[in-house]
Amino acid sequence: MDPVAGIGLRSPHLAEIARDRPATGFLEIHAENYLAHSPALGTVELLRRDYEFSVHAVGLSLGSVDGLDDAHLDRVAALVDRLQPTLVSEHLSWSVAGGRYFNDLLPLPYTEEALQVVARNVDRLQDRLGRQVLVENPSCYLAFAYSTLCEPEFLAELARRTGCGLLLDANNIVVTAHNLRLDPGAWLRDLPASAIGEYHLAGHAVNDADGEPILIDDHGSRVGEGVWTLFERIVRRYGPRPTLVEWDTDLPPLDVLLDESSRAARSLRSETKADARAA
């Protein structure tokens, strides 16, 4: 896919997008919202004829020590087979333990043990789908005392061992860096540029924890200026990639989402031009 900007496709916008076919680089769906045979799946299949698609899974639980759930993996594979999306992605997190699903992207300790678990699950996912998947850096609210790797090191090593790609979420980097007292610039060092296949942008909320601000990745507002600044830095450093604007809570009118993705497209284009001049 060209390094274009797209939007997350959410069901309240589905009818409007199907009717008006607005110009946008690509559409990204959450896999778990389209695994049952609702009328919405039929609409998405029609849209697939006119748009590039990305399938973003949120429930495969790549960090589960119990491995991937066969039934869920089969359903995601069937959707990917049906839609033939350009990109497929999941998160560096876990959400299933003991047969219960927590509907949250839960944090992993960044250890060799966890790396082996995630690598095994990513291998299995890529084998089952017969294609590369991108793994996204999560928003973190806590860190484990016995982590031996930092998050970018963990992701880089995961990409090296499994051949997976990486999805860099600029908002998640800002959220994680703030909450874990890290330097977002330092976070960006040493990622394998060739593995990076997509960027995400979203808004976050500022909540209170023990009287201190904690950033929450709620996808409920416009992309913050700090996130735009970091995004531009990422694009300068690693080059333009397909970029998605996500919005999940307090969904705005579609035009607002398209406006945000236009801004992302301008950043990507200005860097593409800068590249051309340098060459």
Partner 1 sequence: MLALRDLQAAFAAQLGGEDRPDLAEAVVGDSITAAARLRVHRHHVAESLATALAATYSTVQAIVGEDFFRIMARELAAADLPRQPVLAEYGEAFPAFVAGYGPAASLPYLADMARLDWALNLAFHAPWHSRLSVSDLADLPPEGLLASRVSLAAGSTLVRSAYPIDRIWHASRPGTATGRVSLDEGGVAVIVLRRADDAAFATLSPAEAAFVEALDDGKTLEEGAQAAFATEPAFDLSTSVARLLALQAFAALQQDC
Binding site for partner 1 (CB under 8 A): 32-33, 35-39, 42, 58-61, 64-65, 69, 71-72, 75, 94-104, 106, 108-109, 111, 113-114, 117, 141-146, 179-181, 207, 209-210, 212, 214, 216
Q: CB nearer to partner 1: give 141 or 237.
A: 141
Question: From the CB of 50, what's the least distance to partner 1, in Å?
Answer: 19
Nearest to 133 by CA among 50, 242, 54: 54
Q: CB nearer to partner 1: give 75 or 128.
A: 75
Q: CB nearer to partner 1: give 96 or 257.
A: 96
Q: CB nearer to partner 1: give 77 or 216.
A: 216
Coil, helix or strand at residue 271: helix
CB burial of residue 173 (10 Å; 0-12, 13-18, 19+): buried
Q: What's the CA gap between 140 and 37, in Å, rounded?
A: 34
Question: From the CB of 277, what's the least distance to partner 1, in Å?
Answer: 45
Question: From the CB of 201, what's the least distance to partner 1, in Å?
Answer: 21
Distances (CA, A) of 226 to 48, 173, 175, 232, 257: 33, 11, 10, 10, 18
For residue 42, count other CB atoms closer than 10 A to its CB.
11
Question: From the CB of 136, what's the least distance to partner 1, in Å?
Answer: 16
Spatial CB neighbours of 119, under 8 Å, sequence gap ≥ 6 = 158, 161, 162
Which sign, positive or negative, has the C-alpha torsion 91, 202, 271, 52?
A: positive
Q: CB nearer to partner 1: give 175 or 196.
A: 175
Question: From the CB of 40, what's the least distance to partner 1, in Å?
Answer: 9
Question: From the CB of 259, what's the least distance to partner 1, in Å?
Answer: 26
Q: CB nearer to partner 1: give 49 or 181.
A: 181
Distances (CA, A) of 22 to 4, 8, 13, 71: 14, 13, 11, 35
Q: Which helix (H) or strand (E) holds 119?
A: helix 112-129
